[in-house]
Structure formats: C-alpha cells, structure tokens
Amino acid sequence: MSCDASPMSISTLSQLLRESQSDYLCYDLGRRVQAIHTTEFNAIERQQAPYPYPVQGHACFALIFWPQQSKPEQEPFLWFLKFPLDERGLLEQAAVQEYLTSVITLLGQQITHALTEEQEQQLQQSPYLFTPAEEKRAALHAQLSLRWQRPPSVHFELAQTALAQPEHWQQVGVQGLHDVAARLAELPATQTALIEHFDSYPAPLRQAAAIALEHQQLPSSLVTALATKVANLQTGEVRADLLRSLAGSATTEAVQQAVQQVLANASVDECVICCARLWQAFDPLYTPHLKLELLLTALAQHDNKIFAALVTDLLRLPMLRPHLLVTLQRDDLAQPIRQAWQGFISGATHAK
C-alpha cells in the first residue's frame, strides 16, 4: 500500500487488497460454501448488485488473499467477514468502511506481513469477523485444496473407507468427508458406495455426509441416483438428508422432479431445506417448470410462524424476491396461500 493511503481513500476490500499488492479469492459462507467470481464481488462491494446469498440480513464470506509475488497455496491469509445488508440487499457501506478503517489504522501497509500477537488480538476484536461452523470451514478447505491441486487431508482415506464400509463410521473426521465430497468426480467407487449405502448409514454419518455433499457440485450420475432415492421415499429423516445433499444441483431436472415429489407432503425440515438450500429450484430463470406455488402451498400447510419465517427468508433472496412478490399478488392465488400471506402481512403490520 502506498504510504499516502488513508482509511478514507480506501472504499472497498478489493481496493485495499490491490493497494497492498495482493491477489484474492472470495467464497460465500452463508448458505452453501461456493466461490463468488471476482467481477461479481467487485459489483457487490460498489453496491451495483445485491449480495446473492444473504442469511438473516447479512453477507457472510471468506476472503482469501496472498502477496502477488507468491503462490497462494503456500500460506494465504484468511478473513471470515460478516457485514449487514440494507433493505435492498446491498452491503452497508458504513460497516465496510468501519472495518477498512480499523484494518488500515492497525496494520497500515502490512496486511500480508506476519502480525504481532497484539495486532492479532486487536484485529480479532472486530465485530465484522466471525467464526464459521466447523463444517463450512472444512468445506472451504476442501475446495481450496482441490482448486490449488494440493493433496487432501490425512483424514481422506478413512472417510472413503467409512462411506464404503459404514461399520467404521465412528472414526471418520469432518475434514475427511468434505475432502471426499470435493473430489467425487475422480472417485467412482465412492460414488457407488454413496448410492448403495446412503439410506442405510448410521444417522450421524448420513447427516455429516449430507452436509459435506451440499457444498459441492456433484457428478450428474450421482445426482440422478440420489434424486431417484428422494422421489422413492414418502417421508422421514433419510429423505431430508438426501434432499440436503443435492443442494448444489438444484437446477437439474432430476432434482426438480424430486423436490416436486417432496413438496406433496414436506416436513418442516424439508421446507427449511427447500427454502435455505434449494431455492434456485424455484427461480424461473433456471427452472420454469417448478412453480413457486408448489413451495408456498407446502409452507402454508404448517403454522403461521413457519410460513412467516421461511417467506421472510425467501424475500431476502434478490434473485427470487421479484418472482415471489408477483406470485403472492396474483388474483388466482390458492386460498391456503392467500390466507397464510394475509396472516403474514397482518403480523408484519402489527409488529410495526
């Protein structure tokens, strides 16, 4: 960073990194762990685009950066950042500026240099830093290792064994499962094991595997096989876990068909998964055949609090919000949805 750089002359994280001669990557950590293209992130920072994956009114992401003259896989720096969004879904600039000011005041041009213990402690006190869940940290590590062609963790082989021979599941580590999930394209035997054993795994292994799978783009043959399992089940925790495992493939025809089957008698957990993880299955841009009315009908079968919470979450998704509002304002809206929506509006009005 140039010596005359001041907190007020730096307005975005990208600018700070460029000024410090760093390269960087950005990953979303809110709903699914997935890369955000640099061009998209730049637009988000400039309030030219809303944050695409908000969670409870916040953007949660990882910023990975390293000096331009070095290789990123050697020892990148990592910030887990959480910023509030305004009512339009845009990053609140005042919060970003506050964080930038604190970093520049504390570190100056040293953001890619080793920090003193005192600097580290002061930086960690920022209200905009957060600690993601262990599963999301593992998913990020697995994706970065694959991206940079680094070997998987030491837990990788044991995780493969556990998925093929579930009696060994108690020794499996979270990082190992995420490493396997990230590398399934090159692991046909493990794909077969998942297809054959997923619905008979002990619940802790099945749930951990589903969480690992949800953050990945799965091979198409595996998606089709798991989606078929979903469609063939009537209800239950296994179906919910299978559904969650397919979160990265929400726009595929196989998953759309499975979701449609689930919505006929979706549990609360399955409704949450559909809204929080599989919402792209209802975006007309991707899937014109799976209508939002199906999801709203399923939500309306549950109590008003569930409907209100999940519709509120859906309305925060910038790519889905306009389609959802148009659907909810239709004259021919089904009566159960209309009643639930009127209750939602009434509750929101009273809350004010």
- Predicted pLDDT at 287: 66
- Predicted pLDDT at 10: 84
CA proximity to 66, closest of 150, 139, 128, 148 = 148
**Interatomic CA distance for residues 201 and 167, integer angstroms:** 9
- Predicted pLDDT at 279: 92
Query: How confident is the model over 4-55, as pLDDT tens digits?
Result: 445 557 889 999 998 888 899 999 999 999 999 999 999 999 999 999 999 9
3-class SS of residue 129 = strand
- Write down the residue that tokens 């009696």 correspond to: 167
Delimit the domains of the chain by residue range. Answer: 7-124
End-to-end C-alpha distance for the chain, whole angstroms: 47
**Interatomic CA distance for residues 134 and 170, integer angstroms:** 17
- Predicted pLDDT at 72: 67
**Interatomic CA distance for residues 306 and 269, integer angstroms:** 10
> pLDDT > 90: what percent of the chain?
74
- Predicted pLDDT at 316: 93
- Predicted pLDDT at 120: 78
**Interatomic CA distance for residues 334 and 316, integer angstroms:** 23
The pair of structure tokens assigned to 348 is: 């929101």
- Predicted pLDDT at 275: 95
The low-confidence residues of the chain, meaning pLDDT below 70, are: 1-8, 72-74, 109-110, 287-290, 347-352
Q: Strands 22-28, 34-36: parallel, antiparallel or unpaired by DSSP?
A: antiparallel
pTM for the complete prediction? 0.91
- Predicted pLDDT at 3: 40
